[in-house]
Chains A and B, each alone.
Chain A
Amino acid sequence: MADAISVTGLVKRYGEKVVLDGVDLRVASGRVCALLGPNGAGKTTAVRVLTTLIRPDGGRVEVAGVDVVRRPREVRRRIGLIGQQPAVDDVLSARENLVLFGRLHHLGGPGARRRAEELLEQVGLAGTGAQPVRQFSGGMRRRLDIAAGLVLAPQVLFLDEPTTGLDPAGRRDVWDAVRDLVARGTSVLLTTQYLEEAEQLADDVCVLDGGRVVASGSPRELAAAIGGDRLELVVGDPLRAAEAAAIAGRAAAGPPAREPDGGGERVVVPVQRRPGVVGAVVRALDEAGIAVDDVVLRPTTLDEAYLWITGHDRTAAEVPA
């Protein structure tokens, strides 16, 4: 089966400004890929090229095995796009919106009405299908927006920051809807600002920065690639936190970071070699007479990995997928 998405050397320029500077991206069929990156990294531009809204200036882009430049209409039959803002008609009801989009997908009147009912059921809006959309909450509006992207049961679904501006309940709604689709075999590319969202939903993560892919792999691989584990200590006496950080850093052979934690301070040290590190750090602190309230050895979070990748190292840190 063809890859859901296959991008090689994608370039997009606006005048002098290079927005996408040779992006390579592969999403296997049935997988969920999260495109991460700071604002202006080119995430939305990449989605717009992939969904045929804008033409690339260079490179090869295939979605569901179809070239987006040569066969845009064929691509449109195979994809669903859910943009940054819910693109639904406020004045119409949820049902009227879905019937309209069904007709524009050439399902015919009765077919469009039937499909609208199925979709309302699928996203949990069957009871509110007759209400004008302007009375909907943010989460309901988003679910309708997603339903509008599913009219033809797309092979590949694109979600551009689907939960930006939603409350936690709305976010959970959207995540559930996406998981449900993935269970039905849809491939998904989503862009997000929230690392938690990527960890919750994605099989693969791709970090875009300055129009290039700077890292890719599974969330775990990405986190592991930049320094495995972290040792966290809580030091009860804030006056001795600096000293504690220096000692722990030496013992664990990594640059320590500090942040306040309740009355004391939390010290976080990247760990190079796991065996024996907890004992070594605790012993060293004990010898210095510094009381430790808590010690945790844990894997690096995607959050830390992301900050490290986009903040420190701008050369590609390719992780084998």
Chain B
Amino acid sequence: MTAAVVREPVADRLRWAVADAFAVAGRDVAHWRRQPVAVLVNALFPVLLLLMFTYLLGGGMVVPGGGGYRDFLVPGMLALAMVFGVEATMTAVVTDTARGITDRFRSLPMAPSAVVAGRCLADMASSVLGLLVLVTAALAIGWRPAGLVPSLAAIGLLLLLRLAFLWIGIYLGLLARDPSAVMAVQILVWPFAFLSNAFVAASAMPGWLAVLAEWNPVAGTVTAVRDLFGAPVGSGGGWATEHAALLAVVWPVVLTAVFAALSVRRFQALSR
């Protein structure tokens, strides 16, 4: 005897997929409530960097196109905060897989997509929170953005960058078998961050390094966000700097597409 099979209409399945994703994301929100200190430490780390670079190193920095180092640094720090999110995403994914929670989700009659969609929602929400904290800190030390509409556009570009690094994090989390693998990413993220225009203008670097820094997937976002917040971006950059706004969209979109596809394949491979 075969049990009767109920076919759900597509609209119902879609509705449940969204509800399931929110239920999975809700778990993270409950974590924040139970571990407010951990949330605070995570949000304050970029603030600490901002203060250190502004006050300890900023005095020795010469910014192309004039203007103060603080105004140059804030957009760079905001973009790097999005990049650092890769560690949180990867940690969450690899921990759930190692502890059998991913398998438990997969054995439930929920939408399979909700496992990663929930991760996306939760991490985007936490990034919005992180941006809010960092912007508040920047405002507190005297940074002032140019206007509301360009500022909102800048926030949009930053979140788009976060989305790209979110999918990189999901992919790396599915790839790693052990939570200790996150350490490697935590270390590698630093040369990646310094090899960009976040802390220092690419034009101040030796030729070939400047090219790498300009083409760093973060660089387009950094330059475009600087421009939108009204900080001088200087001149004399290469093609990549001239077309920063374009790259600020193209880089994250391409990275998201590639790593989302890789992640889906990796997720399906769990069934093999």
Binding site for B on A (CB under 8 A): 1-2, 51-55, 64-67, 71, 73-74, 76-79, 81, 83-89, 91-92, 96, 100-101, 103-106, 132, 148, 152
Contacts and interface: CB of A to CB of B under 8 A. Distances in A.
B100 A85 contact: yes
A105 B101 contact: no
A64 B3 CA distance: 8
B107 interface: yes
Interface stretch (B27-35, B126-134, B185-193): B27-35
B106 interface: yes
A65 B1 contact: yes
B260 interface: no
B100 A2 contact: no
B23 A53 contact: no
Contacts of A81: 103-104, 107
Contacts, number: 89
Interface in B99-116: 99-101, 103-110, 114
B27 A100 contact: yes
Given A67-B2, A92-B31, 8 more contacts: A51-B107, A71-B5, A74-B6, A85-B99, A100-B23, A103-B26, A104-B108, A104-B110
Interface string B84-124: 00000000000000011101111111100010000000000
Interface of B: 1-3, 5-6, 16, 19-20, 23-24, 26-27, 30-31, 34-35, 99-101, 103-110, 114, 270-272
Contact of B27 (A53, A66, A73, A89): A89
17 contacts: A51-B107, A53-B106, A54-B270, A55-B271, A55-B272, A65-B2, A79-B107, A83-B100, A87-B100, A87-B103, A91-B30, A100-B23, A104-B20, A106-B16, A106-B109, A132-B34, A152-B109
B272 A54 contact: yes
Which residue among B6, B23, B99, B108 has the maximum number of chain A CB atoms within 10 Å of its CB? B108
Given A55-B272, A101-B108, A106-B16, A92 B27 contact: yes
A87 B99 contact: yes
B100 A84 contact: yes
B10 to A, nearest CB: 14
Nearest to A73: B109
A28 B154 CA distance: 63
A148 B103 CA distance: 13
A175 B243 CA distance: 67
A289 to B, nearest CB: 62
B91 to A, nearest CB: 13
Contact of B3 (A65, A86, A106): A65
Given A92-B31, A96-B30, A132-B34, A104 B2 contact: no
